[in-house]
Amino acid sequence: MRQYWVDPSTGLMWAAQDNGKAVAWRKAEGYCRNLRLAGYSDWKLATLDELATLVDKSPTPSKRVGDTETYSINIGNVPPHVRGGLSLTGNPWSSIRENNRFGKPYGDGWFFDFVTSKPSFDLQDFRNIKYALCVRRP
Report if residue 1 sits inside a domain: no
CA separation for the pair 15, 18 (Å, rounded) = 7
d(CA 26, CA 113): 19
110 occurs within a structural domain: yes
Decide: helix, strand or coil at residue 62.
Answer: strand
Question: What Cα–Cα distance (Å) separates residue 70 from each residue in 67, 76, 111, 115?
Answer: 10, 18, 29, 17
Backbone angles phi, psi at 49, to 5 degrees: -65, -40
Q: Is the dihedral of CA 88, 83, 120, 25 positive or negative?
A: positive
- Does residue 7 form part of some domain? no
Total number of domains in the chain? 1
Residue 60 lies in a domain: yes
Structural domain of 52 = 22-136
Task: Locate the DSSP E strands across the chain.
Answer: 4-6, 13-15, 44-45, 62-65, 68-71, 93-99, 105-113, 118-123, 134-136
| Domain-embedded: residue 8 | no
The helix, strand and coil proportions of the chain, stated in percent and rounded to the nearest 5, come to: 15, 40, 50
pLDDT at position 96, please? Answer: 84
Question: Does any domain span residue 89?
Answer: yes
Residue 3: inside a domain: no
Question: Domain for residue 35, yes or no?
Answer: yes
* One pLDDT digit (tens) per residue for the chain, 138 residues: 689 999 999 999 999 999 999 998 889 999 999 999 999 999 999 999 999 999 987 765 444 444 443 333 344 444 456 889 899 998 999 998 777 788 877 766 888 888 788 888 776 555 567 999 999 998
